[in-house]
Structure 1
Amino acid sequence: MSQHAKPAGILLLLAILLLSLNLRPAIAAIGPLVQSISQFAGVKSVGISLLTSIPVLMMGLGAIYAGRIRQALGEGGGIAIGGAVIAIACLMRLWTDNSYGLFTSAALVGLGIAVIQALLPGFIKRNFGASTSSVIALYSNSIVVGAAIGSGTASWLEDQFGWLSTLASWSLPAVAATVYWLLASRRSQYEGRSSVQVTARSAPFWRIGRCWSLLLFFGIGTGAFMLAMAWISPFYIGLGLAKGTAGLLLSVLTIVEALTALWLSLVIGRFPDRRGLLATSLLLVAASYVMLIVAPLQAPYIAVSLLGVSIGLLFPLSIIVAMDHLKDPTLAGNFTAFVQGGGFIIASLVPLTAGSLRDAFNDLSYIWLLMTIASLGMLVLAIRFSPASYQRFQQDLAEIQVGEPKPA
Structure 2
Amino acid sequence: MAGEDAVAPDAGAAAGRRPGAKGHTALVGSGLLLIGVALAAANMRPAVTSLASVLGEIRSSLGQSTTWASVLTTVPTLCFGLAGVAAPFLARRLGLARGIGLALAVLAVGLTVRAVDGPSAVLAGTFLACGAIALCNVLVPVVVKESFPHRMGMATGIYTSAMAAGGALGSALTPRFALWFDGWRLPLATWALLALAALCVWSVAARHDRSAAPAAPSTTPDRQGSLLRSPLAWAITLFFATQALIAYVVMGWLPEVLMAVGHDAATAGLLLAVVMVVGVPMSLLTGPLIARSPTQSWWAAGLGGLAAVGILGLLVAPLWAPLLWALTLGIGMAVFPLALTLISLRTRSSAETARMSAMAQSLGYLIAATGPFLFGLLHDATGDWDVSLLMVLGVLVVQTVLGVIAGRPRYV
- Relative to the length of structure 2, the TM-score reads 0.84
Q: Which amino acid aligns with 2:398?
A: G
Q: 1:260 aligns with which of 276, 282, 285?
A: 282
How large is the Cα RMSD of the aligned pairs? Answer: 2.8
Please give the residue correspondences for 1:165-184 in structure 2 after superposition, counting only pairs within 5 Å. 165-184=186-205
Q: 1:274 aligns with which of 284, 296, 315?
A: 296
Q: Which amino acid aligns with 1:337?
A: A
Q: Which residue of 2 aligns with 1:405?
A: none
**Alpha-carbon distance between aligned partners in 1 of 2:165 and 2:114, rounded to the nearest angstrom:** 22
Q: Which residue of 2 aligns with 1:406?
A: none
Q: 1:216 aligns with which of 238, 253, 256?
A: 238
Deviates more, 1:53-62 or 1:242-251: 242-251
1:50·1:352 contact (CA, 8 Å) conserved in 2? no
**Alpha-carbon distance between aligned partners in 2 of 1:331 and 1:317, rounded to the nearest angstrom:** 18
**Alpha-carbon distance between aligned partners in 2 of 1:106 and 1:83, rounded to the nearest angstrom:** 14
Q: Which residue of 2 aligns with 1:92?
A: 113
Q: 2:350 aligns with which of 329, 333, 348?
A: 329
Please give the residue correspondences for 1:317-356 in structure 2 after superposition, counting only pairs within 5 Å. 317-356=338-377
Consecutive unaligned residues of structure 1, counting only runs of 5 or more, are 193-198, 394-408
2:115·2:189 contact (CA, 8 Å) conserved in 1? yes
Q: Which residue of 2 aligns with 1:250?
A: 272
1:282·1:379 contact (CA, 8 Å) conserved in 2? yes
Q: CA shift at 1:9, angstroms?
A: 1.3
Q: Which residue of 2 aligns with 1:61?
A: 82
Q: 1:200 aligns with which of 222, 244, 252?
A: 222
- In structure 2, the CA distance between the partners of 1:355 and 1:54, relative to structure 1 (3 Å rule), is farther
1:55·1:110 contact (CA, 8 Å) conserved in 2? yes
Q: CA shift at 1:48, angstroms?
A: 4.0
Q: Which amino acid aligns with 1:224?
A: I
Q: CA shift at 1:237, angstroms?
A: 4.7
Q: CA shift at 1:242, angstroms?
A: 4.6
Deviates more, 1:216-225 or 1:267-276: 267-276
**Alpha-carbon distance between aligned partners in 1 of 2:199 and 2:137, rounded to the nearest angstrom:** 14
**Alpha-carbon distance between aligned partners in 2 of 1:222 and 1:361, rounded to the nearest angstrom:** 24
Q: Which residue of 2 aligns with 1:101?
A: 121
1:151·1:247 contact (CA, 8 Å) conserved in 2? no
- Deviation string 1:209-264 (CA, Å, 9 cap, x unpaired) is 22212111100111122222222234445556454433322221111111111111
1:28·1:230 contact (CA, 8 Å) conserved in 2? no
- Relative to the length of structure 1, the TM-score reads 0.84
Q: CA shift at 1:182, angstroms?
A: 0.6
Q: 1:228 aligns with which of 238, 250, 253?
A: 250
Q: Does residue 152 in structure 1 map to residue 172 in structure 2?
A: yes
Please give the residue correspondences for 1:134-153 in structure 2 after superposition, counting only pairs within 5 Å. 134-153=154-173
The sequence identity of aligned pairs, in percent, is 27
Q: Which amino acid aligns with 1:160?
A: W
Consecutive unaligned residues of structure 2, counting only runs of 5 or more, are 1-12, 18-27, 215-220
Deviates more, 1:108-117 or 1:356-365: 356-365
Q: CA shift at 1:338, angstroms?
A: 1.2
1:126·1:329 contact (CA, 8 Å) conserved in 2? yes
**Alpha-carbon distance between aligned partners in 1 of 2:196 and 2:336, rounded to the nearest angstrom:** 26
- Deviation string 1:85-142 (CA, Å, 9 cap, x unpaired) is 11111112323453x4333222112111011122122222221112223312321221
Q: CA shift at 1:346, angstroms?
A: 0.9
Q: CA shift at 1:297, angstroms?
A: 3.3
- In structure 2, the CA distance between the partners of 1:35 and 1:62, relative to structure 1 (3 Å rule), is closer
